[in-house]
Amino acid sequence: MATAAKIPAFDPAFEDQLLASVDRWIERDVAPIARQCDHDDIWPESLVAGMAELGLFGATIAPEWGGLGLPATTYVKIVARICETWMSPTGIFNSHLMLAHCLERFGTRAQKAKWLPRLARGELRGGLALTEPGAGTDLQGITTNARRDGDHYVLNGAKTWITNALHGDVVAMLVKTDPQAEPRHTGMSLFVVDKPRPGLGIGGKLPKMGYRGIDTAPMFLDDVRIPADQLIGEVEGQGFYQATGGLELGRINVAARGVGMAEGALKLAAAYARERRTMGKAIADHQAIALQLGEMVTRARAARLLTLDAAEIYDRGGRCDMEAGMAKYFASEAARDNAEAAMRIFGGNGYSKDYDIERFYRDAMLLIIGEGTNEMQRLIVAKQWMKRTA
């Protein structure tokens, strides 16, 4: 597996300023609309301009192409901060940056010059189109295909669970250019697919238990013609490596979401435990509640340290699939466990939509099954540990 390029030294003072700006944006723009947008499944259009102003659409894109060039350690702190309040907005720029990552790491210089500056400014917003109705964790099982026709490729098939499918402009789409290839992954290629294009259809927003407000939708391709120069790297058969090459960063990102949600649930529970009184004292002073809070604090801190550990290795250019898998697994479970513990502390109020904690519980479940299930993470961790200690 290829490793990430080493990130140059980063100015801590700029990080502090950036995080302070993100905090102000969360308080001013995100927190006031989170509950209503979640309940009514409303795409938070008002937040997009603020994300662009903060540079979030170019957060990890190199300054050469107009981005901020943030190291993963800074990026995860931003994601965690937002997820302390509401996880869904991070999907708008996280999926976008996965597309940018594929282009920046594997695209030709002409492809980078064409797409990356506009992506960094937020003029184009994108995502990653990998999953299909019959292929999720097993990416080699995809059936969407592309055949060469002169200076174009013709694409047919279907994708699903695509973030930014409705309100975005472009995706990196994984297809089969040689369905008969063995091993199967050698016949896969990654294309930049922009819209609108004849034959490209976008389905309605998928109804979801959590992660609401985000435009997750299926895509349908019926003889969609894509210029050959939109094949990333302009060499067939490299798509599987290109798509999975960003999964380390993707799993670190999901871990960062888990960190934010674990810490957000803890803050909600602690605030409620200070205010709620029974038997003449705050429930935080009851031993049963204090024990739960102690566990929540420990889980949140451990999740943060595991995630920063993986991010630091990624920034050094080292292989971190094991560390990213551990962080993703533990932090997502910590988010779910802290949300459940917080609901217990809230009692009946935790089950009410008048309080935000029920949203944390619903959203946390996505982290456990998304970006590779936690069962898969445990297998990756075990396999890599056995290799490293052989």
What are the structural domains, with CATH classification, of the chain? 12-125 (1.10.540.10), 127-240 (2.40.110.10), 246-388 (1.20.140.10)
Euclidean distance between CA atoms 381 and 300, whole angstroms: 20
Dist. CA 133–CA 326, nearest whole Å: 27
User: What per-residue confidence (pLDDT) applies to 2?
Assistant: 39
Residues 33, 38, 40, CA angle at the centre, nearest 5°? 100
Is 371 among the catalytic positions?
Answer: yes
Give the N- to C-terminal CA distance of the chain in Å, as an integer.
19
Output phi, psi for 239, to 5 deg.
Answer: -65, -40
pLDDT at position 10 is 66
Identified catalytic residue from 104, 132, 323, 371 = 371
> What letter does residue 30 receive in the DSSP assignment?
I
Q: Which pLDDT score, from 0 to 100, does residue 329 have?
A: 98
* Residue of 113, 134, 361, 97 lying closest to 249 (CA atoms): 97
CA–CA gap between residue 365 and residue 221 (Å, rounded): 30
Cβ partners under 8 Å of residue 89, min gap 6 = 30, 44, 47, 51, 82, 213
Burial class (CB in 10 A: 0-12, 13-18, 19+), 359: buried
pLDDT score, position 136: 81
pLDDT tens-digit profile, the chain (390 residues)? 334 444 545 678 899 999 999 999 999 999 999 999 999 999 999 999 999 999 999 999 999 999 999 999 999 999 999 999 999 999 999 999 999 999 999 999 999 999 999 999 999 999 999 999 998 878 889 999 999 999 999 999 999 999 999 999 999 999 999 999 999 999 999 999 999 999 999 999 999 999 999 999 999 999 999 999 999 999 999 999 999 877 888 899 999 999 999 999 999 999 999 999 999 999 999 999 999 999 999 999 999 999 999 999 999 999 899 999 999 999 999 999 999 999 999 999 999 999 999 999 999 999 999 888 999 999 999 999 999 999
What is the C-alpha to C-alpha distance for residues 339 and 362, in angstroms, rounded to an integer? 9
